[in-house]
């Protein structure tokens, strides 16, 4: 099976153990963006948890790149550890191959092509992931019901979006902006909407606060640029004032946002804030079929309730 074939398959993560208490640590599915995108799998400190392709493990992942018994998670003196179980493609923590390694809060655990995020305890980040996953599931259920009933739902309106990007990503940003507009999303896009003579940062801050969502396009070449950082800063300030964690939507063209150290020393909080969210990957956006698939997921997040 080719790389393209297995990457296009839908991931199905099945939890075979009974659901433990909510106060325990958890894994969040953050890649790929299939039906289980954002799903939370709770971990019991007193019980070993195995991950693999087999249906006999605790967390079963239907992915060819994952071994039948890939890795296990367990605790020693209250501390969580992950250990590779002789897998074919290896187990990685924060993109570093490991044999046995402690898990820290917000670490990224990669088994084959599937990426989990480790949350050490219950808290606001877990609540955020639960809310987003629930919204996505509800949106899928509504679409399925519409298909079965043969009815076509007409969306009366979409949430508006400010598109934040750096110059290195302008080609993708143009394509995304055009696609969003075609689907009824009102956007603010610098090339089209900036007013000549106005100060850039002041104008951006004003428009960010007047739009429902801010889509931040992240890549290794742009995420550390001053303009992008400033727009992230303004959005996070708005979220803090509103007590919300849903204004900023990170869109990544590579895996730079998952790597530690991309934010300047005085803005380390940005790194934490972006990686605690579900990141929508457009790493193969030049492929029209892949772009359309990820665009549909983004449109689902931007959709307001419609009328039949």
pLDDT at residue 40 in the model: 84
pLDDT at residue 120 in the model: 84
Q: Assess whether pLDDT exceeds 90 at residue 168.
A: yes
Instruction: Please tell me whether residue 266 adopts helix, strand or coil conformation.
Output: helix
Judge whether 116 and 91 are in contact, CB under 8 Å. no
Count Cβ atoms within 10 A of the Cβ of residue 118 and give its class: 0-12 exposed, 13-18 middle, 19 or more buried.
Answer: buried
21: pLDDT confidence band, cut at 50, 70 and 90?
very low
Judge whether 249 and 213 are in contact, CB under 8 Å. yes
8: pLDDT confidence band, cut at 50, 70 and 90?
very low
Q: Assess whether pLDDT exceeds 80 at residue 187.
A: yes
Q: What are 227-275's pLDDT values in tens digits?
A: 898 898 899 889 888 887 789 999 999 988 888 878 877 787 888 888 7
Structure tokens, 87: 């897998």
Q: Assess whether pLDDT exceeds 90 at residue 202.
A: no
218: pLDDT confidence band, cut at 50, 70 and 90?
very high
Q: Assess whether pLDDT exceeds 70 at residue 194.
A: yes
Say what the pTM is.
0.50
138: pLDDT confidence band, cut at 50, 70 and 90?
low
pLDDT at residue 130 in the model: 62
The percent of residues in the chain predicted with pLDDT above 90, rounded, is 39
Q: Which residues contact 43 (CB under 8 A, 6 or more apart)?
A: 20, 24, 25, 26, 27, 49, 73, 80
Q: Where is 184: in which H helix or E strand?
A: none
Tell me the mean pLDDT in the region 49-60.
93
pLDDT at residue 17 in the model: 43
141: pLDDT confidence band, cut at 50, 70 and 90?
low
Tell me the mean pLDDT in the region 79-96.
95
Q: Assess whether pLDDT exceeds 50 at residue 6.
A: no
**Higher-confidence residue: 148 or 211?**
211
Q: By C-alpha distance, which of 225, 268, 308 is closest to 106?
A: 268
C-alpha span between 308 and 133 (Å, rounded): 25
Q: Which residues contact 46 (CB under 8 A, 6 or more apart)?
A: 75
Q: Assess whether pLDDT exceeds 70 at residue 67.
A: yes
Judge whether 155 and 146 are in contact, CB under 8 Å. no
Range name among 75-79, 138-142, 233-237 with the lowest pLDDT average: 138-142
Q: By C-alpha distance, which of 76, 73, 90 is closest to 26?
A: 73
Q: Rounded to the nearest 5°, which phi and psi values hold at 61?
A: -115, 115
Tell me the mean pLDDT in the region 96-123.
89
Tell me the mean pLDDT in the region 3-9.
42
């Amino acid at each position: 099976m080719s790389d393209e074939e297995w990457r296009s398959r839908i991931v199905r993560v099945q939890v075979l153990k009974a659901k433990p208490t909510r106060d325990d640590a958890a894994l969040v599915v953050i890649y790929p963006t299939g039906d289980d995108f954002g799903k939370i799998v709770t971990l019991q400190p007193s019980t070993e948890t195995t991950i693999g392709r087999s249906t006999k493990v605790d967390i079963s992942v239907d992915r060819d790149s994952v071994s039948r018994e890939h890795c296990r998670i367990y605790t020693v003196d209250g501390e969580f550890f992950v250990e590779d179980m002789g897998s074919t493609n290896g187990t990685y923590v924060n993109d570093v191959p490991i044999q046995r390694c402690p898990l820290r809060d917000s670490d990224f655990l990669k088994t084959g092509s599937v990426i989990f995020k480790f949350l050490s305890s219950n808290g606001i980040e877990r609540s955020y992931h639960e809310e987003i996953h629930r919204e996505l599931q509800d949106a899928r259920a509504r679409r399925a019901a519409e298909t079965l009933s043969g009815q076509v739902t007409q969306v009366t309106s979409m949430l508006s979006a400010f598109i934040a990007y750096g110059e290195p990503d302008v080609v993708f940003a143009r394509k995304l902006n055009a696609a969003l507009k075609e689907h009824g999303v009102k956007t603010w896009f610098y090339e089209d909407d900036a007013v000549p003579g106005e100060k850039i940062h002041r104008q951006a801050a004003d428009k960010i606060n007047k739009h429902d969502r801010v889509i931040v396009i992240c890549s290794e070449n742009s995420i550390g640029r001053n303009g992008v950082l400033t727009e992230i800063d303004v959005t996070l300030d708005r979220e803090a004032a509103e007590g919300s964690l849903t204004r900023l939507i990170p869109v990544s063209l590579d895996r730079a946002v998952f790597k530690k150290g991309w934010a300047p020393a005085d803005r380390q909080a940005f790194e934490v804030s972006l990686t605690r969210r579900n990141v929508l990957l457009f790493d193969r956006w030049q492929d029209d079929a892949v772009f359309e698939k990820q665009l549909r997921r983004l449109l689902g997040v931007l959709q307001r309730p419609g009328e039949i």
